[in-house]
Amino acid sequence: MRWKGGRLSTNVDDRRGRGISFGGKGLGLVGIVLALLVAWVTGDPRALFGALAGGGAEVADSPPSPEEQELVEFVRAVLASTEDVWNAELPRYGTSYREPTLVLFRDAVSSACGMAGSAVGPFYCPGDEQLYLDLEFFEELERRLDAPGDFAQAYVIAHEVGHHVQRILGTESQVRAAQERTDEAGANELSVRMELQADYLAGVWAHHARGSIEPGDVEEALNAAAQIGDDNLQRRERGRVVPESFTHGTSEQRVRWFKRGLQSGDLAHGNMFAASNP
């Protein structure tokens, strides 16, 4: 992917150098877990309250390596590209684009959606309209999920930005309200449709960012979409597939909807909720 020398987004909140400090000590996620274990084993919640007393201060962590800093610049470049695309495209559909903040964190982070650890992967929180990313996920993407390449990483960012576009268009709130009115199976199906639409929107971004795409980039994104399909992930982790528990879509669906967005570049063709079979 061609990204060096281009604009870098300023909408990045880098929290990697801050640990969560409670009571003047930088406990971090491991310390919090240990405090919870002590409270549970002893039956004395004061062990936890004592550890959390004075909460919320932040402490310095080790400085990033040059390689990590370059990765940060890459993230800022991709985010800038999504800003350019959606600032240009959304007015065509009667609305303006609110640029989200991307929060970089290490190990754990607090958001309007609650506390989250790195294990949840990149996510978008509609409560504060921010994207959250631990850069270690990119290593997991390559090493554990067999999805290497910078455009695979760009696809992940563009997918989360797609959720922000859904928030702006009102899709996110409509889906959440519909999920509250249905059962678990119905809620999961709605979740799949929303995730597939975010894949489609990532494809729309890629369509309009073709000037940055190099040979092999699209294949990297398609491979990433395939590797993180619900069926593929369940097969890796459980050894079996449970379709009724899907929340993001199959590998085939994720690849197909990203490709549709890439080919059309048009929001109007991505109404996942009107399709009888996504």
Nearest to 221 by CA among 265, 259, 252, 164: 259
pLDDT for position 268: 87
What would the mean pLDDT of 227-249 be, rounded to a whole number? 92
Comparison of pLDDT for 185 and 44, the residue scoring more:
185
Nearest to 166 by CA among 72, 259, 98: 98
Q: Which residue has the tokens 């962590």?
A: 61
Structure tokens at 211: 């000037």
Average pLDDT of every residue of the chain: 86
Helix axes 184-208, 251-264, angle to 10 degrees: 40
φ, ψ (nearest 5 deg) of residue 12: -125, 125
How far apart (Å, rounded) are the C-alpha atoms in residues 253 and 257?
6
pLDDT for position 32: 46
What would the mean pLDDT of 147-156 be, rounded to a whole number? 96
- For 12-63, the pLDDT digits (tens) are 999 987 655 433 334 444 444 444 444 443 344 444 444 444 344 444 456 7
What would the mean pLDDT of 182-205 be, rounded to a whole number? 96
pLDDT for position 176: 94
Alpha-carbon distances of 72 from 34, 55, 75, 77, 247, rounded to whole Å: 31, 28, 5, 9, 29
- For 253-270, the pLDDT digits (tens) are 999 999 999 999 999 888
Say yes or no to pLDDT of 190 above 90: yes
pLDDT for position 67: 87
pLDDT for position 272: 78
Angle CA 102–272–244, to nearest 5? 90
pLDDT for position 73: 97
Nearest to 254 by CA among 221, 276, 210: 221
Do 133 and 122 meet the contact criterion of CB atoms below 8 Å apart? yes
- For 120-131, the pLDDT digits (tens) are 999 999 999 999
pLDDT for position 84: 98
